[in-house]
Amino acid sequence: MSEGPDVPEEPTPAQPTGRSRYEDYDLSAPAAPPLVRRRTPTLVLAAVVLGFSGVLPLLTVVLFEPDGPVIAGLLALGVAELIGCALVVVVHPLGRPIGIALGAIGILLGLVAARSTPANGLVTMALNGFVIYALASSGPAFRRG
C-alpha cells in the first residue's frame, strides 16, 4: 500500500580531513610583470637640466679664463654634471644618487649666487630643486631589473 510521502535521506556529515574547504580554491596572486626601466619625461627634463648645468661651467672656463683653483673646481663640477646627465639618460641605478647629490650642490651654489645676483641664484636653486624632485620621485625607474 502507500507508504507516505517520500522523505529524502539526511546526508551524513563528511569525515573531517584536517583541511579547510577553502584550501581547495586557487587563491594565488598573479606574478608581477618584469620591471621595465622607463625613461619618463620628468627624467628626460632632469637630464637636460643636468646637461646644461654641466656645460655652463665648462663654457665659463673656456670663455672667461678664471684663476687656477677656480678652473679646477669648475672643470670638476662640469664633468661631474655631464656624467650625472649621462647616467640619468640611460636610467642607470647610480644616476639617481649622483644626480640628487649634484642637485644639492647646485642648490648650495645657487644660495651663494643669490647674494650677488638674486634672480640668477633663485633660478639655479629652482632648477636644481626640480632635478632633486624628479630623481627622488622616479625611484622605480632606477631599480635593477
pLDDT tens per residue across span 81-98? 999 999 999 999 999 999
pLDDT at site 39: 86
Task: Decide: 79 and 54 in contact? Cβ < 8 Å.
Answer: yes
For residue 128, pLDDT beyond 60 = yes
% of residues, the chain, pLDDT over 90: 67
Distance CA 70, CA 30 (A): 57
Distance CA 71, CA 87 (A): 24
